[in-house]
Structure 1
């Protein structure tokens, strides 16, 4: 009898083990095939590193600002009318607005060229990507780009934050002399949000302190 029970146990354990399915990792060939299926668009203009380098050379101007957004509120149709959300410890990237970058940005905003859902991407040349500046905000969302020269610049950052929504949940029904009564209780839930903050700015004269809001 004990042997029979042992065999049943071993058979059941073996079946449970065999029922497990572990998703295999994609092979190098599969990853490469997916990469080859991507449609990559690059600007046709030639990137001029001398122009970009000169625009990012040390100057006497400064860009200071604050990065933030507004929380979405369900009571106002999910519009950004809630409390101010400061960009805490967010990286802000700044590019000089060269002719090459202008073409890149136009392509990037074109949904027929850049659409990740359709595996379509607009990219910059590696050298163009290198010519940039970065700043990290403090807990109040404040940031600074010192030693800037006059010129046009583009800055952006991705702000991740949590939004709290308030609603009412059905908890049951009852009856009185007038008929049925439905009961609801308030509850709240949270949702992770991510928002692109971007801005074009221009320093018009050397020594200028430009104050901006990145939102």
Structure 2
């Protein structure tokens, strides 16, 4: 005698199987999440894309003034005059010290630029946008219109034969501070650590600058770049 077939049980089993398969299909939002995650993983594992991404993060952006540089105006401002600018360059490296707190700039180059509209735009751009990854420059042509002098052992400098007008003075000075620090040099089998004092140093570069205006033909102006 043939075994009776339970149609209801078969239909129930099929329904359960369909339900299991349906549950394994991810929700549309989950599916999108899985795809995006997989794409990011593949992108992160790509060495070329990785290098491009790091280079983009560390890229230095250069900005220049937008207006044209007037070489005739700059040349006219740098023509011979009868005024003088005298100054001194120093940096105070220890604010708490009373003696030997100042480091005078020895053989530091001091540069004088005519404060033309082009240069003023450059300076304003620096104040507004300059950062670690954004640098502001003047053009090579504008850079040629400058006067340079060197400081003596006391940090003094002089610009003579200057015409009345507004100028920008800049000096790049490096200072080095020395100090002693306990440095671990070894240990024994009991775990005792041994130290000795070693001399360390720290160097810093300072951009010292100031605007100067000469109003009279034979005027002598004194300034400090610090």
TM-score (norm 1): 0.65
Tell me the distance in 1 between the aligned counterparts of 2:91 and 2:60: 33
Q: CA distance change for structure 1 residues 53 and 170 in 2, over 3 Å: closer, same or farther? A: closer
In structure 2, the residue matched to 1:140 is: 154
Q: Distance in 2 between matches of 1:39 and 1:86?
A: 33
| Match of residue 190, structure 1, among 194, 201, 205 | 201
For structure 2, the residue ranges without an aligned partner over 5 or more in a row are: 1-51, 185-195
The one of 130, 149, 160 aligned to 1:114: 130
Q: What secondary structure does 1:109 align onto?
A: helix
Q: Between Structure 1 and Structure 2, which shows a larger proportion of strand residues?
A: 1
Structure-2-length-normalised TM-score: 0.62
Partner of 2:79: 57
Between the aligned partners of 2:104 and 2:220, the Cα distance in structure 1 is 22
RMSD: 3.0
CA 1:96–1:170 in 2, change beyond 3 Å: closer, same or farther? closer
Larger Rg over CA atoms: 2
Number of the residue aligned with 2:123: 105
**Residues 173 and 206 in structure 2, CA contact (< 8 A), matched pair in contact too:** yes
**Partner residue in 1 for 2:168:** 154
1:48 to 42, 63, 70: 70
Deviation at 1:188, TM superposition (A): 6.3
